[in-house]
Amino acid sequence: MKLLSIILPTYNEKDNIVILIEQIMNSLEHEFFSFEIIVVDDNSPDGTSEVVRTLMKSFPPLRLLTRTSDKGLVPSIHDGIQHAKGDICIWMDADLSMSPILIKSMVKELENGADLVVGSRYIKGGCMKGADPDGHPTSLLSVWRTLSSTEDSFLSAMISKTGNLVVRAILKSPLHDHTSGFFCSKKKTLLTVGVQGSFVDYCISLPYRCYMKGLNVVEVPMVLTPRKYGKSKTSNDLSSIISVAYQCIKAAFILKITVKSERSERYAM
């Protein structure tokens, strides 16, 4: 029986992590596969690790990895993959914006031949933050009203949607969502391709490099909901939003040049 490793990178998520772990346990309770949940916490000052440590007494599949150096999302994901006991790894945000219900669909796509499965807001059935989760047409005013009462930013949501179109055009990629953050793949694939970049542009790099290697990258619809508790890590102010957008566009251009160069050198050998 295969083992699924669910990796949850955290920083100051004590108000969300208990709810998320319970949601994961409930959504996978009757599945035929075994799973473990690895919380990779960057020594959060709000006590996230302590909360998880307490939960471990009641949830046997739960593991905790507390990191005190080389902090950041990508190093946390990398360490989670390295420590995973499962042959399938999946990771998602711990702010309750991503539903664990999607996990079963992602694993199924992997069983059907996918090498990397990506949760996508911008395909049919998907939904960006602030939009109607049932798929009904939503005006920009409605999106703004929804997000104005949350920790998430309307401007960040709009830049994300537009930025994904720009990145797709630069890379000439078939993918629709290049800043997802919800991924599923076999551990050996991830160790071979590698998770590279910073906390946002790695989302662009991983699927694009998989695609350029000829691997089968599949998108599944993802409904992204606004954050309820805690502070957003990517949309606190205008300057940080612009900085993230710049990093993504820059990463796309660099990938376009370097990955193409790597392919040319490989074929020349």
Per-residue pLDDT averaged across 179-188, rounded? 94
CA distance linking residue 245 with residue 90, whole number of Å? 25
Instruction: Tell which wins on pLDDT, 259 or 112.
Output: 112
Average pLDDT, the chain: 84
For the chain, the residue count is: 269
The pLDDT value recorded for residue 133 is 65
Where is average pLDDT lowest: 2-11, 131-140, 200-209?
A: 131-140
Range(s) of the domain holding residue 132: 3-268
Among positive and negative, which fits the CA dihedral 238, 239, 242, 248? negative
By CB atoms closer than 10 A (0-12, 13-18, 19+), residue 92 is buried
pTM score: 0.85
> What's the CA gap between 251 and 230, in Å, rounded?
28
In this predicted structure, the answer to whether residue 264 has a pLDDT above a threshold of 50 is: no
List, in order, residues 6 or more apart from 17 with CB less than 8 Å away. Answer: 8, 10, 39, 48, 51, 52, 55, 94
What backbone torsions phi and psi does residue 44 show, to the nearest 5 degrees? -55, 130
Summarised one tens digit per residue, pLDDT across range 30-70 is 776 799 999 999 999 999 999 999 999 888 899 999 999 99
Read off the pLDDT of residues 213-223 as tens digits, 9 standing for 90 and up. Answer: 999 999 999 98
Number of domains in the chain: 1
- How far is residue 119's CA from residue 132's CA, in Å, rounded to a whole number? 17
d(CA 121, CA 129): 9
Q: Which of 115-124, 191-200, 239-248 has the lowest mean pLDDT?
A: 239-248
| CATH number of the structural domain spanning residue 144 | 3.90.550.10
Instruction: Give residues with Cβ within 8 angstroms of 191, minimum separation 6.
Output: 81
